Amino acid sequence: MENRADLGAMVMRLGRRILAMERPILAAHAISMWGYIVLTALHDRPMRTQAALAAGIGADKTRLIAVLDDLQRRELIEREPDPADRRVRLLRLTEAGRLLQQRIQADIRTAEDQLLGTLQESDRTALLTALAALHTEGPGI
Amino acid sequence: MENRADLGAMVMRLGRRILAMERPILAAHAISMWGYIVLTALHDRPMRTQAALAAGIGADKTRLIAVLDDLQRRELIEREPDPADRRVRLLRLTEAGRLLQQRIQADIRTAEDQLLGTLQESDRTALLTALAALHTEGPGI
DNA sequence: TATTGTTATACTCTATAACTATA
DNA sequence: TATAGTTATAGAGTATAACAATA
């Protein structure tokens, strides 16, 4: 593979292709990309502060506020002051939020599998192994 | 690989990691990301119109103008009206542009190989195969 | 009238700074 | 005084619309 395209160009192009694929799925569930990222982060585990959530998904804390407002209004997350330190907002999914995240993720997984289905089995598993090893730190999208 | 992270998240994170890796290399050569993309596109082959170049790298044509102005001012590209149709600007690299593109690409390749070196040989080649198959159409970055 | 390139404008996304409420 | 969250403001990047030159 001596004469290949730049890695960054290939990866970013693939990323945009996947994001374009996900956009209609998210729209069908009336949720933004950041909204879905937040639901997924909270699905993995609840958070004690909005700043921790922001850091965890690589977003600025000010950027999350409108997202959290919307999710809370739609009763997909709970967001209540910590009785022990009322500056802090405890964040967790509601049952509706948990179900919605699972539904969206299942739809996305279906689309991903369709895309990956164009690859040979061995390339597919190696791609996922390599991505899992390399993606590590960094923002949510 | 049933319980993996979303493919889009992993790919975009990796893409950002690679872009962050490339940024100091581009800065060392005093060239922007879009400038490098244009040099690389023209290195592959000259273009007959700016619109064709823009479409080829997935950029808006208006976005390229400042980039082309800069590259032309630094005599890295030639940009002359087509005698046969003077609305059109013929675009090609100068010798200096060709050399600079090669130097930057070599630096980037070195950094990429370092990153890929953390992978097993079989995963690495499969990753490149999969990326080459999947990235296909789409913007330059 | 249609097309290439250019300029001017508006819009979106994001980060920075200033504010409030708690501690 | 320091910190969590919020609001207001400014900046970068991008796309849209209007324009000039040429066909």
**pLDDT given for residue A135 in this prediction:** 78
- Average pLDDT for B67-90: 97
**pLDDT given for residue A1 in this prediction:** 59
> Bigger pLDDT: A1 or B36?
B36
CB spacing of B14 vs A131 below 8 angstroms: yes
Indicate the pLDDT class of residue B16, thresholds 50, 70 and 90: very high
**What are the phi and psi torsion angles at B117 (to 5°)?**
-65, -20
- Average pLDDT for A108-132: 94
Question: In chain B, which residues from 46 to 75 place their CB closer than 7 Å to nucleic acid strand C?
Answer: 49-52, 61-62, 65, 68
- A22 neighbors A111 (Cβ within 8 angstroms): yes
Helices (H), chain A: 7-28, 33-44, 50-57, 61-73, 95-116, 121-135
Query: In chain D, which nucleotides are within 7 Å of a protein Cβ?
Result: 3-8, 14-17, 21-23
Q: Using the predicted structure, report yes or no on whether residue B15 has a pLDDT greater than 60.
A: yes
Q: Using the predicted structure, report yes or no on whether residue A75 has a pLDDT greater than 70.
A: yes
Residue of B19, B109, B123 lying closest to A130 (CB–CB): B123
Q: Would an 8 Å CB–CB cutoff place B3 in contact with chain A?
A: no
Judging contacts by C-beta atoms under 8 Å, the chain A residues touching residue B132 are 1, 4-5, 10
- Residue A89 is encoded by which pair of tokens? 């907002």
Q: What is the pLDDT of residues B89-112, one digit of tens each?
A: 999 999 999 999 999 999 999 999
Return the residue matching tokens 């192009």.
A13
- Of A132, A140, A14, A58, give the one whose Cα is nearest residue B141: A14
Give the nucleotide with minimal C1' distance to the Cα of B54: C5
CA distance B92 to chain A (A): 19
Q: Using the predicted structure, report yes or no on whether residue B139 has a pLDDT greater than 60.
A: no
pTM of the full structure: 0.90
**pLDDT given for residue A60 in this prediction:** 94
CA distance B135 to chain A (A): 4
Q: Using the predicted structure, report yes or no on whether residue A19 has a pLDDT greater than 90.
A: yes
CB within 8 Å of chain A, chain B residues 60-89:
none
Judging contacts by C-beta atoms under 8 Å, the chain B residues touching residue A132 are 1, 4-5, 10
Provide the mean pLDDT of chain A.
93
CA distance A75 to chain B (A): 24
Instruction: For chain B, state the CA radius of gyration.
Output: 17
- Of B127, B138, B6, B23, give the one whose Cα is nearest residue A140: B6
Whole-angstrom distance, CA of residue A93 vs CA of residue A43: 7
Whole-angstrom distance, CA of residue B137 vs CA of residue A6: 14
Burial per residue of A85-112, b for 16 or more beta-carbon CB atoms within 10 angstroms, e otherwise: eeebbbbbbbeebbebbeebbebbeebb
Q: Would an 8 Å CB–CB cutoff place B130 in contact with chain A?
A: yes
Helix (H) or strand (E) holding B87: strand B85-93
Q: Is the CB of A65 under 7 A from strand D?
A: yes
Indicate the pLDDT class of residue A2, thresholds 50, 70 and 90: low
**pLDDT given for residue A4 in this prediction:** 85
What is the percent of chain B with per-residue pLDDT over 90, rounded to a whole number? 89
> Bigger pLDDT: A101 or B126?
A101
Contacts of B81 (CB under 8 A, 6+ apart): B87, B88, B89, B90
**pLDDT given for residue A35 in this prediction:** 97
Q: Using the predicted structure, report yes or no on whether residue A140 has a pLDDT greater than 70.
A: no
**pLDDT given for residue A134 in this prediction:** 87
- Residue B130 is encoded by which pair of tokens? 């999969």
Judging contacts by C-beta atoms under 8 Å, the chain B residues touching residue A4 are 128, 132
